[in-house]
Amino acid sequence: MGEGLGRTVLARDRFARSWGLGDRRAPASITPALVLTEGDPDLDPALAPFKSTSTRQLPSVLSVTARLPLEPPLFDAVGPMWEVSVGHVLPPEMEEANAGERAGTGPLLPLSWQRMRHDEALMDASLDPSVVVLTDAVALASRPERLIEAIATLKQRFPGALLWTPGLGGPDNLALLVWFGVDLFDLARSTRASFAGALLDRGGPRPPDRTLGENASMASQVVAWTHALAEVRQHLSMGSLRTVVDRQAMVAPSTVAQLRLHDALASELQGIRSVVVEPSRRLLCMSEATLQDPAVVAWERFIRTNYRAPDGLDRILVLLPCSARKPYRSSPSHQRFIEAIGTNATHEVMVTSPLGLVPRDLEQVWPAGHYDLAVTGRWSGDEVARVARMLRDLIAAHGYVAIVDHSGLGLPDDVYGGLPRVETRQGSTAGSAEALERLGNAVREAIRTYGARRRSKETMLMDEWKSVSRLHFGGDAWMSSVEVRGRPPRYKLMHEGEQVAQWSPERASLALSKASVPLVEHGAGLARIHLMPSITWKGDLHRGIVEEIEGEVLGGADVLVLQNGVAVGLARALAPGWEWAGTPGRLAKAHQRL
């Protein structure tokens, strides 16, 4: 009986994962995928790489068998195959009970809500399952908060395991469950729909349209599954799964509740977010659900609690509307705003949904430079409330003496902290000649009255990069003695004649060089990865060579690599912190080694 399962992450987004199963160089199947159970039609193993049986006596014995050669290291025979006792599964309502025969452990790990609460053996650090089965997932679905908590807990405790929630998934909630962290599904709901004469597709169960030749056969149900799996796999690989999730969550009150609970929980968890993403990645804001997206919540939290305007720039605050083109400065409308303002001595801050406020010095980073919004010109109460609380905190944390407001939002007077404010739109569109003239006049008058110092080009660049460094690297002290050299857009940062960083417009971040390691070791707040003392570091980082992690590892962020207490290089996190405890394969890509 084999135990190992070859698997590697092909794409990731928060808790959602696309796993390549089998040989990582040529995966035999990809998740999300199906598990066949007794009575199911014989499907292509690439679609359904596992089959499962369960004995009828109690406590039942669950077996899961691969239908493809998925067992390392040779991948030369069909396998692995696992078998485990499920134990007595008590209803979730009996969560305080701790009775009955305990379920087994191993590479196939069956878990229930009750077992998660009482079985101390689950905390054994050596427990490293390949597949986790949430046996009472259907019962937990009646209490959405329990279901969301259970899935999130299992993903963090067993990050390298595939998660199966028997009987819960269908084409109509596939994207939602994948977003939560589920990897494996089955045909149970589709089988019931077929018996009832309904077709379960991406919109939920419905009568087949006989005029178009539809029917409720299992063959039709499988076609619906195939289309749904293809959609989710592709959107996950492109980084746009959330758009499908938002659409899918709207089909029922229960799924809306599940998504809201998940977003709230994910926003509070450490080490699941990313700070740097691929240039093609977009945050598509197509519904009000995006207001609670963890990336948006994390942005609001940073601006309200940790953001500081560049030194000397917190005198005159200029509020501007956003633009469809990102970064804003590349849009025709903002080119006109910048021309009308006529100086770089003011602190320009954009008012936008869903992010609330975006300072000019952070307009290129994720998610500020990567979101698309359906513009209606109307603001919801939640959107206005976010802008108001962010603006209150921004003003309270800085020494502004005057506000020039070109946003047109018109918040209550108490939001502005009693500061003198000039509203320059006065009912006109932001780009109209008269509004732009008022904007320019108001800025010039504020500078004459209160004073503000114009910055050199080099200072303006350094101000922006220091803001980015505080967000991405946890500090900017390492930049205290660097100088700007080179040409746009790939400016170089030099220290004592050596290049320590370069601005990367694709990543909207600073690419650190080998010479930066001594500087960032003491002048930034990078997460620290301590390697095993005895290994020779040659390739990328994986869990087998990591001894300890200090700090919060964020997706796409640089991490400082140390061995025996000495800094030996830098790596770039491919996986956020919650995965580092148990995910096989590469966790960070080495890019500087001393």
Q: Tell me the per-residue pLDDT of 275-285, one tens digit each, with 9 for 90 and over.
A: 988 888 888 77
Residue 125 clears pLDDT 90, i.e. is over it: no
Give me the percent of the chain exceeding a pLDDT of 90: 78
Q: Which residue shows structure tokens 């599904």?
A: 185
| Out of 155-164, 180-189, 261-270, 485-494, least confident range | 261-270
Q: Which residue shows structure tokens 């900017």?
A: 476
What CATH number does the domain located at 456-519 have? 3.10.450.90
- The total number of residues written for the chain in this structure: 594
How many Cβ atoms sit within 10 Å of the Cβ of residue 427?
9
Residue 524 clears pLDDT 80, i.e. is over it: yes
DSSP of 162-211, one letter per residue? EEE-TTT--TTTHHHHHHHT--EE-SHHHHHHHHTT-EEETTEEE---GG
Cis status of the peptide bond prior to 420, with omega within 30 of 0:
no
Give the pLDDT band (50/70/90) at residue 572. very high
The CA dihedral of 24, 27, 30, 33, to the nearest 10 degrees, is: -120
Residue 423 clears pLDDT 90, i.e. is over it: yes
Do residues 484 and 492 lie in contact, with contact meaning Cβ atoms separated by under 8 Å? yes
Residue 350 clears pLDDT 90, i.e. is over it: yes
Q: Average pLDDT, stretch 226-248?
A: 93
pTM: 0.91
CA 234, CA 231: separation in Å to the nearest integer?
5
Residue 101 clears pLDDT 70, i.e. is over it: no
User: Which are the contacts of 85, defined by CB distance < 8 A and separation ≥ 6?
Assistant: 59, 60, 61, 62, 101, 103, 104, 110
In degrees and rounded to multiples of 5, residue 56 shows phi and psi of -90, -20
Residue 333 clears pLDDT 90, i.e. is over it: yes
* Cα angle 66-72-77, degrees, rounded to a multiple of 5: 50
How confident is the model at residue 93, as a pLDDT? 63
How confident is the model at residue 97, as a pLDDT? 59
194-198, 504-508, 577-581: which has the highest mean pLDDT?
194-198
Q: Average pLDDT, stretch 491-500?
A: 96
CA 508, CA 382: separation in Å to the nearest integer?
29
Written out in words, the top-level CATH class of the domain with range 526-594 is: mainly beta
Give the pLDDT band (50/70/90) at residue 367. very high
Q: Average pLDDT, stretch 378-394?
A: 92
How confident is the model at residue 1, as a pLDDT? 38
What CATH number does the domain located at 307-450 have? 3.40.50.10630
Query: Each residue of 550-563: pLDDT tens digit?
Result: 999 999 999 999 99
Residue 95 clears pLDDT 70, i.e. is over it: no
Give the pLDDT band (50/70/90) at residue 122. confident
Q: Average pLDDT, stretch 497-521?
A: 95
**What are the boundaries of each domain within the chain?**
7-268, 307-450, 456-519, 526-594
Residue 102 clears pLDDT 50, i.e. is over it: yes
Residue 96 clears pLDDT 80, i.e. is over it: no
Give the pLDDT band (50/70/90) at residue 100. low
How confident is the model at residue 273, as a pLDDT? 81
Residue 490 clears pLDDT 50, i.e. is over it: yes
Q: Where are the beta strands (DSSP E) in 196-341?
A: 199-201, 204-206, 283-285, 316-321
The mean pLDDT of the chain is 92
